[in-house]
Amino acid sequence: MAVWSLLAVNSLSLGGLLFLLSAGFSLIFGLMRIPNLMHGSFFMLGAYLGASLLQRGYNFWFAALAASAAMVVIGGLVERLLLRRLAGQELAQVLLTLGLSFVIADLCLMIWTGDPIQPATPAQLGGGVRTLGMFFPIYRLAIIGIAVAIALGLWVLIDWTRLGAMIRAGVDDAPMARVMGIQVSRLFTAVFCIGAALAAFAGVMGSPFLSVYPGLDADMLPLALIVVILGGAGSLLGALVGSFIIGLLYNFGQAMFPDLAYVILFLPMVLVLILRPQGLLGRVQT
Amino acid sequence: MTSNPGRTGFVLLLLAILATLPLWMTSLYYVNIASQILFWAVFALGLNVLVGYGGLVSLGHAGLFGFSGYVAALLMVNGYSHAAALPAAIIGTLLMTAVFAALALRSTGISFLMITLALGQILWGIAYRWADVTRGDNGVNVAGRPSPFGIDLTEPRAFYVAVFITFILCLLSMLALVRSPYGASLRGTRDQPRRMRALGFNVWMIRFIAFLFSGFWTAVAGILFIYYNQFISPQVMALQTSAEALLMVISGGTATLAGPVVGAAIVVIMKNVVSAYVERWNMVLGIIFVLIISFMPEGLVPGTARLWRSMMGRRRAAKMPLGLKVAGEGSR
Amino acid sequence: MTVERRTILKAGLATAASVAMPTVLRAQAAPFRIGLLTVKTGPLAQGGIQMEQGLATFLKEKNNILAGRKVEVIVADTGGNPAGARTKAQEVVERDKVNIILGPLAAFELLALTDYVRQQQIPLISLAAAEDVTQRSTNPWVIRPSATSGQCSHVMGDYAAKEMKLKRVATICEDFAFGHEQVGAFLRVFEENGGKVVKKLWPPLNAPDFTPFIAQIGNVDGVFMGFAGSNPLKFLRAYADLGLKGQIPVTGGWTALDDALLKSFGDEAVGAMSATFYTSDHNTESNKRFVAAMAKDYDVIPGAYSAGMYIAGQCVEAAIAKLDGKTDDKQALMAALKGLSLTDTPRGAFSFDQNGNVVGDVFIRRCERQGGKLVNKTIKTYEKVSQFWTYDPAEFVKQPVYSRDYPPAKNLQ
């Protein structure tokens, strides 16, 4: 019994982390129509930057925000200087992000070496709650809270602000948005930066228990892909639901069917792509 | 495929150099590198059928490549002969390819890429975690290479010759494909799927056959791979391998015969030879990829040919805006 | 510090100190080339980096000259996977023409390249623990001065049953050869002495999060943990996070509480027991030199990975000395290596059995906090432990090799 509730809590906290990673991915996919194959690299690079700041004794939250800020700059540069050149050629854009992910992976290996880094859990959130004969680490519970808070923040941004209205218009029908005078290209940059920053933030949040290592990008990218395909590109609620589904499948799959853990993880993605290409909560695109 | 006596001569000369390589290459190390280039080229040529001629970009071919290798390796470990294991691996991979095709061909473009990616990850996940069957991370050792017609392929030069013959067969089959009416209709489904359908072609079947053809050579390459390494482990099936194979096709030039071969040569040489002198070869590879996509999207072979022609004064007006032609949407 | 996939190690002080060299150099002899197969990427990198440091420390002490022969080292990063190990072995042999290979780190890497080593007839001094390379399919080109996977965990099984009086144990190891063999050996000795292994857990080497596995440990009075590289850090952190530290004692193999990890552990490691062939507080002259040099050059307490390569270097030196510098005859070099019996090494005295595997002491240690620092305190020494434990070698090799399912665990719940 204790096993299952522990796994359930862990599923929720992994789900929260996945939401931070894939919310931006979903918006990029929805708006620009490309799966950004360097999203895992943003996560990893953010985690490494955060780990470096933590090693220099900076506060955990400062490190998370600084890493996110750095990724805003890097994401913006990638979008402005490279992706922009290939506007309209979606496949070339996807492949470009793939090539860049090679470059970032090697860059991280060069700067941080191949030796994994595991930053300490922030002191305020150390320890655990002992209840019902179980023991839950506070930090994992905190991640769930932070993910929900950021989900609310994003919801306000998308549904209640002018920028959000433009993004929604762009996701629904980019040519129409352009006709209505929305500068879609600037939106692309904004969304790409937001996505990169969220991924980096997730990277720092995840580092105390995932640790930061070469290959973290390749581990996280497929998870983000599944979440967004399941939930539906461009849908925040979809990303949230998808994240928690994948969190559960991942944890219970590893524990109950270790042999087929990855089949359990990827099969839903294949099924959704075939049976409901717009995703569980995605809108049918015109 | 315009026939040009100068170019044909050049290609024949290159093939002659490759054919005689074991005679003049003294270092066995470089003979082995040449073998690697050729079997990766077979893999890349197989992938190119889909990516180049079919306009269907697959990011799951490493799954098929590794599947073939695993079937052959596991059968041999369990006591089956080479003669039994090889056909089984190829037939098994063709069946798996049919499953891939049946699922992935319901869509085109980015959805196709995503489905193949997910399918490739499933096969990787099975190899990685279903340790009772696949031996998981430990991988599978392949005891030896076969001795067809009494020639022991353990010797690197003999092995090279076997790979070279396979490579030539692969190249010839590609040539036949490209020149056949079927090849023309495959290119038609890439460029004008709706029109092809209106003309009464079964677009789905044309693509399905292309997928099988691609799967066949992928399976052959997978077998050459395990014979070369005498070992296979799940890393072979990872997304990275699919990406590298795609990189070979795109950097060399899609929908050409020479492109994937040049691409395979670049990647293998970077990986094995250049890595001894340049520490950051993986980064160099990534940067080359990014540059090619940004500045020479048709790939190195057609791109260089274009530059060459314009230097020779025979400038042609036709400049491709985008080398990567993708099968159109609305093809369901 | 950058990761370099391939470098020629340069002894920093070679030119300055060579003036004072007492040994007469055989000027005409070509350098003796060592290929070091190590891991610089991924969860095993922590061990791989130490391997390189251990060898560098030994060669620096010797000014890059072993028994009168100048030595060159080619370092290759296998990436910590068997396919990479196979490729890199081929590279150092065929391209760099090395005289001997040191490494690799992991058992599954050694298993992937043992056939190749046999084919090429290239001497190899292994750190990797794969049992069969010195057992059922003994490779005549391999010696192993470190330990087989089971060599230390046999001992842990004995100690856990007899002295710690554990009854019900869960095992958790990476799902690869080293983990399988460690658990098999532990299980065999532990259950023969009255204990029960009630759960076997196999997370993959690259598991991002061990929580789903730790959650299943269940109702036991002890855990055997065989993680390698930096995974013990991750495991013990998650173990403490889930409130199990102090509730259920942890025992481990030679990589699980390696001394080099002590600087990175926090209180989560206190109380953990381990069985190892090298402990940094060992009282031999060469170990004192080694520990001091590692502290000076790298600011670390050395562990078994670096000590293993230091010892491998000592083996090379002793063999070259035995052959009077003439190392071209590979058969003779191999025979010289196998016949070695060293007394002053960081792990103490040892010799090799007929299969080329070490017979030496194994130490049981408890991790404690002493004056603010974590130390592994030696509690008991098992002397002259063989890879066959107390079993008859001929009977031993008739059993299948330790694996995921052998010996069968009859008490799983």
B103: nearest CB among A99, A229, A274: A274
Is C336:C37 a contact under the CB 8 Å cutoff? no
- Distance, in angstroms, between B231 CA and closest chain C CA? 7
Sequence length of chain B is: 332
Of B140-144, B310-314, C119-123, the one with minimum mean pLDDT is: B310-314
Q: How far is CA A148 from the centre of its chain?
A: 14
pLDDT band at C11 (very low <50, low <70, confident <90, very high): very low
Q: Kindly state whether residue C404 falls inside one of the protein's structural domains.
A: no
Is residue B187 classed as helix, strand or coil in its secondary structure?
helix
pLDDT band at C33 (very low <50, low <70, confident <90, very high): very high
Question: Touching check for C316 and chain B: CB below 8 Å?
Answer: no
Is A48:A42 a contact under the CB 8 Å cutoff? no
Q: Kindly state whether residue C341 falls inside one of the protein's structural domains.
A: yes
Percent of chain A with pLDDT over 90: 43
Same-domain check for residues C381 and C276: yes
pLDDT tens for each residue of B144-166 = 888 888 888 888 899 999 999 99
pLDDT over 50 (residue C8): no
Same-domain check for residues C367 and C303: no
The pLDDT assigned to B295 comes to 81
Contacts of C230 in chain A (CB under 8 A): 115-116, 118, 211
pLDDT band at B325 (very low <50, low <70, confident <90, very high): low
Q: Which residue of B has its CA nearest to C7?
A: B276
Count Cβ atoms within 10 A of the Cβ of residue C388 and give its class: 0-12 exposed, 13-18 middle, 19 or more buried. Answer: buried
Q: Which residue of A has its CA nearest to B131?
A: A259
Tokens of C51: 């391997």
Residues B34, B23: Cα–Cα separation, whole Å? 13
Residues A170, A188: Cα–Cα separation, whole Å? 9
pLDDT band at B108 (very low <50, low <70, confident <90, very high): confident
Q: Kindly state whether residue C1 falls inside one of the protein's structural domains.
A: no
C3: nearest CB among A3, A114, A209: A114
Q: Kindly state whether residue C273 falls inside one of the protein's structural domains.
A: yes
Same-domain check for residues C226 and C165: yes
Q: Kindly state whether residue B130 falls inside one of the protein's structural domains.
A: yes
Same-domain check for residues C175 and C262: yes
Residues C21, C112: Cα–Cα separation, whole Å? 41
| C21: CB partners within 8 A, 6+ apart | C63, C65
**B36-63 mean pLDDT:** 95
A213: nearest CB among C42, C49, C241: C42
**C71-93 mean pLDDT:** 90
Question: Touching check for B221 and chain A: CB below 8 Å?
Answer: no
pLDDT tens for each residue of C106-156 = 999 999 999 999 989 999 999 999 999 999 999 999 999 999 999 999 999
Give me the residues of chain A with pLDDT under 70, please. 1, 132-133, 283-286
pLDDT band at B105 (very low <50, low <70, confident <90, very high): very high
Q: How far, in Å, are C8, C32, C92 from residue C35 at the CA level? A: 10, 10, 6
- Distance, in angstroms, between B255 CA and closest chain C CA? 31
Is C53:C17 a contact under the CB 8 Å cutoff? no
Q: Which residue has the tokens 């050049």?
A: B10
Subunits with 3+ Cβ pairs within 8 Å of C are A, B
Subunits with 3+ Cβ pairs within 8 Å of A are B, C
Mutate to test the interface with C, among B134, B142, B233 (most CBs of C within 10 A): B233
**Bridge partners of residue C380, in order along the sequence:** C364
Residues B232, B225: Cα–Cα separation, whole Å? 8
Task: State the Cα torsion C117-C118-C119-C124 to the nearest 10°.
Answer: 30
Q: Kindly state whether residue B95 falls inside one of the protein's structural domains.
A: yes
Amino acid present at B261: V
Question: Is B57's CB within 8 Å of A91's CB?
Answer: yes
The pLDDT assigned to C16 comes to 38
How many CA atoms lie less than 13 Å away from B151 in the CB half-sphere?
Answer: 11
The pLDDT assigned to C396 comes to 95
Q: Which residue of C has its CA nearest to A114?
A: C41
pLDDT over 90 (residue C259): yes
| Angle, vertex CA C48, rays to CA C46 and CA C52, nearest 5 | 120
| Angle, vertex CA A35, rays to CA B326 and CA A145, nearest 5 | 165
Q: Which residue has the higher pLDDT, B202 or B326?
A: B202
**Bridge partners of residue C101, in order along the sequence:** C35, C124
The pLDDT assigned to C64 comes to 93
Tokens of B302: 């057609």
pLDDT over 80 (residue B169): yes
Q: Which residue has the higher pLDDT, B26 or C93?
A: C93
Question: Is B230's CB within 8 Å of C115's CB?
Answer: yes
Question: Touching check for A110 and chain B: CB below 8 Å?
Answer: yes
A102: nearest CB among B117, B250, B282: B282
Same-domain check for residues C273 and C286: no
The pLDDT assigned to A233 comes to 85
Percent of chain B with pLDDT over 90: 53
Q: Which residue has the tokens 């060599």?
A: C151
**C220-227 mean pLDDT:** 95
Task: Choose among C132, C95, C93: nearest CA to C110.
Answer: C132
Q: Kindly state whether residue B302 falls inside one of the protein's structural domains.
A: no
pLDDT tens for each residue of B90-104 = 999 999 999 999 999
Question: Is A94's CB within 8 Å of B110's CB?
Answer: yes
Amino acid present at C11: A
Question: Is A113's CB within 8 Å of C1's CB?
Answer: yes
Residue C94 CB neighbour total at 10 angstroms: 18
Same-domain check for residues C157 and C141: no
C231-241 and A184-210 helices, crossing angle to 10°:
80
Residue C159 CB neighbour total at 10 angstroms: 22
Mutate to test the interface with C, among A251, A254, A259, A260 (most CBs of C within 10 A): A254
pLDDT tens for each residue of A130-186 = 776 677 888 989 999 999 999 999 999 988 898 888 888 887 877 778 787 777 788
For chain B, the domain total comes to 1
Q: How far, in Å, are A82, A187, A193, C200, C263 from residue A76 at the CA level? A: 10, 11, 5, 48, 39
Contacts of A215 in chain C (CB under 8 A): 41-42, 206
B137: nearest CB among C6, C94, C175: C175
pLDDT over 60 (residue B283): yes
Same-domain check for residues C52 and C82: yes
pLDDT band at C270 (very low <50, low <70, confident <90, very high): very high
Contacts of A103 in chain B (CB under 8 A): 283, 286-287, 290
Q: What is the DSSP letter of C144?
A: B
Q: Which residue of C has its CA nearest to A220?
A: C208
Question: Is B279's CB within 8 Å of C2's CB?
Answer: yes
**C236-247 mean pLDDT:** 87
Assigned architecture for domain A2-275: Orthogonal Bundle (1.10)
Strands C350-352 and C250-252: unpaired
Q: What is the DSSP letter of B155?
A: S
| A283: CB partners within 8 A, 6+ apart | A172, A232, A234, A235
Which sign, positive or negative, has the C-alpha torsion A28, A29, A34, A39?
positive
pLDDT over 60 (residue B328): no
Of B119-123, B153-157, C61-65, C189-193, the one with minimum mean pLDDT is: B153-157
Q: What is the DSSP letter of A114?
A: B
| A270: CB partners within 8 A, 6+ apart | B103, B115, B118, B119, B122
| Structural domain boundaries, residue C254 | 150-280+360-396
Task: Choose among C229, C232, C287, C294: nearest CA to C265.
Answer: C232
The pLDDT assigned to B116 comes to 94
The pLDDT assigned to B324 comes to 63
Q: Which residue has the higher pLDDT, B186 or B298?
A: B186
Mutate to test the interface with A, among C211, C214, C217, C231 (most CBs of A within 10 A): C211
Return the CA Rg of chain A. Answer: 19
Question: Is C241's CB within 8 Å of A255's CB?
Answer: no
Question: Touching check for B232 and chain C: CB below 8 Å?
Answer: yes
Same-domain check for residues C249 and C102: no
pLDDT band at C165 (very low <50, low <70, confident <90, very high): very high
Question: Is B276's CB within 8 Å of C6's CB?
Answer: yes
Contacts of C53 in chain A (CB under 8 A): none
Contacts of B232 in chain C (CB under 8 A): 83
Average model confidence (pLDDT) across chain C: 89
pLDDT over 70 (residue C21): no
Sequence length of chain C is: 413
Average model confidence (pLDDT) across chain B: 87
pLDDT band at C24 (very low <50, low <70, confident <90, very high): very low
pLDDT band at B3 (very low <50, low <70, confident <90, very high): low
| Angle, vertex CA C203, rays to CA C197 and CA C204, nearest 5 | 140
The pLDDT assigned to B136 comes to 87
Q: Kindly state whether residue B42 falls inside one of the protein's structural domains.
A: yes
| A 165-224 → B contacts, CB under 8 A | 218, 221-222
For chain C, the domain total comes to 2
Q: Kindly state whether residue B100 falls inside one of the protein's structural domains.
A: yes
Percent of chain C with pLDDT over 90: 74
- Give the ipTM: 0.88
The pLDDT assigned to B318 comes to 44
Is B230:B58 a contact under the CB 8 Å cutoff? no
Residues C135, C112: Cα–Cα separation, whole Å? 16
Q: What are phi and psi of A70, to 5 degrees?
A: -60, -40
Percent of chain B with pLDDT over 70: 92
pLDDT band at C61 (very low <50, low <70, confident <90, very high): very high
Same-domain check for residues C83 and C172: no
Question: Touching check for C120 and chain B: CB below 8 Å?
Answer: no
DSSP symbols for A201-252 = HHHHHHHHHH-B-TTHHHHHHHHHHHHHHHH-TT-HHHHHHHHHHHHHHHHH
Domains of chain A, by residue range, sit at 2-275
